[in-house]
């Protein structure tokens, strides 16, 4: 079944660097500064950044404290590719 949007298999928010890292179904890993994605997230207290929930079939992330949504597609479009598929999947298997 084809999905009409990108979906992630994992997400990690680093409050210290204020960055998000998204792992896609193909193993690609994208990283992006939260300030690039949203002014609300840039201004949000760091203790609340890790309090998020998935939107739908892991197609985005929602932060209830500020009612902010960011799609996986938006992170990919504005982020930097850190690891490509096979390289990322080998790293996960070794963990």
Quick: pLDDT tens for 26-79: 889 999 999 999 999 999 999 999 999 999 889 999 999 999 999 999 999 999
pLDDT above 90: residue 85: no
Report pLDDT for 5: 76
Output the pTM of the full model.
0.81
* Across 5-22, average pLDDT: 93
Q: How far is 72 from 68, CA to CA, in rounded Å?
A: 13
Report pLDDT for 84: 77
**Which residue in the block uniquely carries the two structure tokens 């193993």?**
27
Q: How far is 88 from 56, CA to CA, in rounded Å?
A: 24
């Amino acid at each position: 079944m084809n999905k009409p949007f990108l979906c992630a298999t994992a997400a990690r928010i680093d409050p210290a660097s204020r960055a998000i890292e998204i792992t896609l179904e193909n193993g690609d890993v994208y990283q992006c500064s939260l300030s690039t994605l949203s002014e609300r997230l840039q201004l949000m207290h760091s203790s609340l950044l890790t309090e998020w929930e998935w939107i739908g079939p892991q197609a985005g992330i929602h932060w209830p404290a500020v009612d902010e949504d960011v799609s996986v597609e938006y992170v990919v479009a504005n982020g930097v590719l850190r690891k490509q598929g096979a390289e990322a999947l080998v790293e996960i298997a070794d963990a």
